[in-house]
Amino acid sequence: MKRLFVAVKLIPDDNFLKSYYFLKNNLQTNIIKWVNPGSMHLTLKFLGETPDEKIKEIKRILKEFAQDKKAFNVWFDKCGIFGSSYKPRVIWFGASKNEEIKTLGNQLLDTFHEHGYTRDSQNFVPHLTVGRIKKITDKKSFQATLDKLKNERLQEFNIDEIILYQSILKPGGPAYIELELYNLL
């Protein structure tokens, strides 16, 4: 069994990192598990614990899926939270004009569903998880810090490949192993 997901790898530039470290430095009084910037990715489909004998089929599905998809660019220009303002759970960066990435993600979910894989129960929301919130000490200060990046143009990313990853959970955080890469046109 392998814990698998399909994602787009995103390599942060200096401007992106400046915003990331702005949050990290200004939210130090809170308990937040920060995502390593070198591990940033946009998950398209989480497959979870997958029997080894299914991996060949998954690779075939992804190869067929990617063969007619075109590469595109997307600007990440939003900062937000998942959860309520009273109990935020995740800090994320997202894209306000994200139709192409939403289309790609939804087409991938549909393709896997057609092949017997359960469709995710939640709508596909393209985002980069920046931090997982354990405890907020001052909600007003927390929100004021996030508001400073609310409409910040963080970085433009070229989406030209999708990757099948294996995730290995470790005490210090997950390790991601690239199993197969699929280029977009």
Q: What is the CATH number of the domain that holds 103?
A: 3.90.1140.10
Nearest-CA neighbor of 6 among 123, 160, 128, 167? 167
Spot the catalytic one: 4, 10, 32, 41. Answer: 41
Q: Between β-strands 31-34 and 127-135, what pairing exists: parallel, antiparallel or unpaired? A: antiparallel
Contact indicator for 138, 44 with CB cutoff of 8 Å:
no
Residue 183: closest CA among 67, 41, 72: 67
Give Cα 185 distance to the centre of its chain: 22
- Marked catalytic residue, from 5, 127, 129, 131: 127
What pLDDT is attached to residue 9? 95
pLDDT tens digits, residue range 148-181? 998 889 999 999 999 999 999 988 888 999 999 9
Active site residue 115: no
Whole-angstrom distance, CA of residue 110 vs CA of residue 144: 38
Count up the domains in the chain and report the number.
1
Q: Say how far apart CA 12 and CA 22 lie, in whole Å.
A: 14
Torsion 42-123-150-91 (CA) sign: negative
Output the pLDDT for position 123.
82
Measuring CA to CA, which residue among 161, 164, 182 is closest to residue 71? 161
Structural domain span for residue 145: 2-183
Look up the pTM and report it: 0.93
* Secondary structure element (H or E) that encloses residue 5, with its range: strand 2-9
- Residues 52-69 have pLDDT tens digits of 999 999 999 999 999 999
Q: What is the chain's Cα-based Rg?
A: 17
- Closest by CA to 69, choosing from 40, 97, 111, 98, is 111
**Catalytic annotation on 41?**
yes
d(CA 164, CA 60): 11
Q: Residue 160: its pLDDT value, please? A: 97
